[in-house]
Amino acid sequence: MTTQMWVFLVYFVIVFAIGWYALRATKNEKDYWIAGGELGWFTGGATMAATHTSAGTFVGTIGVMYTAGWSFGWVLLAIPLSYWFMVAVLAPRFTRQKEITLPAFIETRYYGKGIRGLAGLIILVATVVYIQAQIVAGGLIANTVFGVSTTTGMVVFTVILLAYTVIGGMIAVVYTDVFQLVVMGVGALVAVPLALQQVGGLGELLSLVESAHPLVFTWETMPATLILTMGLSFFLGGIATPEKLIRLYAMKDMHTIRRGVLFAIVVILALNLLVFILALTAIVLFPELPTGDLAMPMIATAVLPTILGAVMLAAITAAMMSTVDSLLIVAGSALSVDIYQNLINPGVTPARRLWIDRIGILIVGSIPVLLLLSGVGEGELIQFIVLLFTALMAAAFVMPVVGGMLWRRATKEGAAAAMVGGVTATFLWEAFGPASIEPVLAGFLVSAALFISVSLVTPPPPQSALDPYFDA
């Protein structure tokens, strides 16, 4: 067995051990879906940072910057702004009444089981898109480390993720996220100085990268409209993605949320800066890669010493797993709680709910890899798949969630129209709109217009829907 394989074996043993601990600690659905709602600032912030830092960061961001240059880095400035908005504007009211899923909040604020089911269905569809991106990256890593085909790697990666997430729920996700964040940090901190050493230091890197990619520090590689709308997608999607909103419920109070999100912002920005440097070194060292998504695996295998390269690949794997397990939680809860238990079988006994919850995660975790095996979703740069997911979440949930917390007049009909219209407009723009403008713009504008106009022409919400979130 190679050194790389031993590193990964130890990594997976630790992950499964955490899953076993979480199984023993999970007593009810609140534990399973929001870790009991009692996370501290460090665990809450770490799981939020780890969830954000996905294959979109360690593989996708490097892939786009390898192809398009440094201009893409400015897009990511939208991320801290979205987290600030979440804490300063949304969280104080949103967390007054804790739920176990985002669609459960939709039901409470918009007084209807049907709209809760609609929200759950949208989360299922969008999550499949996002999980596919992470699974593709998992297949690339498995091919690099173990020499298996990308297809085999995707299947094995999915099986491992499903095993500990199904068993331990949110408690397993949170503590594996903390461990995975440590692995990511160590991997990036080790990789950057060694990669810089290969190109003669930071000053020499800046000179060499312009020779290898003359447009790397210009704005000419991507249309300005694309950069701006990508930034809008990250900002709006960061506010409204269910896996982040649920972490607000998982932390115990607003003081904890503020400290935890600040910690997450610092970690995310630091990791992205390290990733930017690695992207530039990849341009110099590997100028002819067939796809930018191979840049990070090439750094790990061709630049770093064997054991450190294995740690770096483990860090990439940790980034993917820390995001997918969180997505499995929100998608599994959408299927088992918001659709099955809410609409199909409301009378299910408490003793059976945890089993149904686990089956829900198993189902939604299997769909993305089955679609990939059938050829659906292959061939896209990972970061662009991630952007489609954030666009869908922004179009579906920014107005119902943020608007619902700021505007008393928002109605059930307005929220439903915003979700359906926003998602539809996003998919139509993705299919037929110009590539120079991200679909988030069309989706969000349609969602906002429908949310406001339909709410104004329908009866106002009952007071019972406003009491949990607004002062009398």
Per-residue pLDDT tens for 160-209?
Answer: 878 878 888 888 888 888 888 888 888 888 888 888 888 888 888 888 88
Number of domains into which the chain is organized: 1
User: How far are the Cα atoms of 41, 215, 220 from residue 226, in angstroms, in the given order?
Assistant: 35, 17, 11
Q: Report if residue 445 sits inside a domain.
A: no
- Tell me the whole-structure pTM to 2 decimals: 0.85
Of 151-160, 197-206, 227-236, 314-323, which range is least confident? Answer: 314-323
What pLDDT score was predicted for residue 472?
63
- C-alpha 113/C-alpha 335 separation (Å) is 14
**pLDDT per residue as tens digits for the range 379-429:** 555 556 777 788 888 999 999 999 999 999 999 999 999 999 999 999 899
**pLDDT per residue as tens digits for the range 122-163:** 998 888 777 777 777 777 777 766 777 888 888 887 888 788
Q: Report if residue 122 sits inside a domain.
A: yes
Q: Report if residue 397 sits inside a domain.
A: no
Instruction: Please compute the mean of the pLDDT values over residues 22-33 and round it to a whole number.
Output: 83
Q: Report if residue 350 sits inside a domain.
A: yes
- C-alpha 198/C-alpha 20 separation (Å) is 42
Residue predicted with more confidence, 412 or 214: 412
What pLDDT score was predicted for residue 21?
85
Name the token pair of 146.
Answer: 């173990």
pLDDT over 60 at 464, yes or no: yes
Confidence band, pLDDT 50/70/90 cuts, at residue 376: low
What pLDDT score was predicted for residue 55?
60
Q: Report if residue 459 sits inside a domain.
A: no
Q: Report if residue 268 sits inside a domain.
A: yes
DSSP E strand stretches across 174-241: none
What range defines the domain where residue 290 resides? Answer: 3-377
- C-alpha 299/C-alpha 252 separation (Å) is 40
What pLDDT score was predicted for residue 383?
55
Of the ranges 69-73, 92-96, 295-299, 337-341, which is most confident? 92-96
- Spatial contact of 388 and 129, defined as CB atoms under 8 Å apart: yes
Mean pLDDT value across the chain: 84
> Which run of H or of E encompasses 291?
none
Cα of first residue to Cα of last residue in the chain, in angstroms, is 66
Instruction: Please compute the mean of the pLDDT values over residues 310-335 and round it to a whole number.
Output: 78
- Spatial contact of 440 and 454, defined as CB atoms under 8 Å apart: no
pLDDT over 90 at 90, yes or no: yes
- C-alpha 317/C-alpha 314 separation (Å) is 5
- The residue type found at 270 is A
Q: Report if residue 383 sits inside a domain.
A: no
What pLDDT score was predicted for residue 272?
85
Instruction: Please compute the mean of the pLDDT values over residues 369-386 and round it to a whole number.
Output: 65
Distance of CA 275 to the CA centre of its chain: 17
Q: Report if residue 175 sits inside a domain.
A: yes
What pLDDT score was predicted for residue 1?
62
- C-alpha 373/C-alpha 21 separation (Å) is 33
Domain containing residue 259: CATH number: 1.20.1730.10
Q: Tokens 């064997």 belong to which residue?
A: 306
| DSSP result, 46-100 | HHHHHHHSSHIIIIIIHHHHHHH-GGGGGGGGHHHHHHHHIIIIIHHHHTSS--S
DSSP H helices, 411-462, are: 412-432, 439-457
